[in-house]
Amino acid sequence: CNLTSFSIGKYEVTQAQFEEVMGFNPSEFKKEGATHPVESVSIWDAMQFCDELSKREGYTTFYNLSDIRTAAAASSRPRATAT
């Protein structure tokens, strides 16, 4: 990875912003309102959110989720053992 610069939001990601980008709101505290921070987000959804937001704002995406998921699945598979 060769990350030379990055941008960071001034405020936390709201439930409304997450839903607008991703199409769903995983928050358990929806009654608090759309202006409250999103929570209960999986690491996969967080990475996808970052990539989708980057695309919308004209930046290059950072994560290659298909490669990451393939590697994660491979590392969680049972290993053969010698007997």
CB 49 within 8 A of CB 57: no
Angle between helices 43-56 and 65-76 (to 10 degrees): 170
CB 52 within 8 A of CB 28: no
Of 74 and 38, the structure prediction assigns the larger pLDDT to 38
Task: Decide if pLDDT at 77 tops 80.
Answer: no
pLDDT tens, 27-71? Answer: 999 988 899 999 999 999 999 999 999 999 998 888 877 766 666
Report residue 54 as tokens.
């980057």
pTM of the predicted model over 0.85: no
pLDDT tens, 14-33? Answer: 999 999 999 999 999 998 88
